[in-house]
Amino acid sequence: MSKLGLKVSNLSHFYGPKCALNNISFEVENGHFCALLGPNGAGKSTLYALLCRLFSAQDGEIAIDGLRLSENPRLALARMGIVFQHPTLDLDLTVRQNLNYFAGLHGISGKTARIAISEALHRLQMAEREHEKVRALNGGHRRRMEIARALIHKPSVLLLDEPTVGLDAQTRRQITEHVHDLASRDGLTVMWATHLVDEVWPDDRLLILHRGDIICDSVAKDISQKRSLAETFAELTESEGA
């Protein structure tokens, strides 16, 4: 029950002399939704690059679903699904063809792939669009499809980096709800990076990242207390002319 979906210990990252992450540590329990809220430049994408091993950690330790990334990279990464900040879909393939290609990269093929893809599309209410070319889809459907893709190999930890940027308010809301459900209903550990306070729900676990430091780590409603989260977030992050 108390197993950790994510554990980050004393993680730092520098781009040359610039410190993008400053010795951060946090834990996310299995099956919890954790929002990572931070303004542009806070270090969110840098953290994701380290979590998915796009960058190897210069310092500190990461464990995914109890597996240390430095010791068991293949097994640890197999437990993780990721939706990057910038879309990575082949526009001229259909939805199913894109997902099939990804399944193949994970060594999943044939009937197993067909079933896993159908399940993932169902979960994101995208089943009826499986034969449409991605180019024909609107931004919200493309994002849902990327979330479906991240679920095909049945990860236990799902990481999303600003997955709703550029979408209209209603679509943002629907996708935010879907992904909350993936944690509460399906038991995935979710980390959702955003700079938008309205995507954080009162009962969410909330990390606020600012200039490479975690400046809050609690439940959202406890951080904002009687004020709105928007006010609290602005006050915490707008100092020194940020």
Confirm or reject binding of residue 163 to ligand ADP (CB under 6 A): no
DSSP 8-state symbol, 67: E
Would you say 38 or 155 has its CB closer to Mg ion?
Answer: 38
Q: List the interface residues with ligand ADP, window 67-86 (CB under 6 A).
A: none
Rule CB under 5 A: choose which of 30, 45, 194, 237 binds Mg ion.
45
In the numeric block, which tokens belong to residue 167?
Answer: 């979408």
How far are the Cα atoms of 38, 39, 169, 179 from residue 196, in angstroms, in the given order?
8, 8, 11, 15
Report the SS3 class of residue 40: coil
Would you say 48 or 102 has its CB closer to ligand ADP?
Answer: 48
Rule CB under 6 A: choose which of 1, 2, 15, 131 binds ligand ADP.
15
Give 67's strand partners.
64
CA-to-CA distance for 237 and 174, rounded, in angstroms? 27
Of the candidate spans 12-20, 50-58, 103-111, 129-137, the one that interacts with ligand ADP by CB under 6 A turns out to be 12-20
Rule CB under 6 A: choose which of 14, 41, 118, 132 binds ligand ADP.
41
Q: Would you call 117 exposed, middle or buried from its count of C-beta atoms within 10 A (0-12, 13-18, 19+)? A: buried
Interface residues toward ligand ADP, by CB under 6 A? 15, 18, 20, 38, 40-46
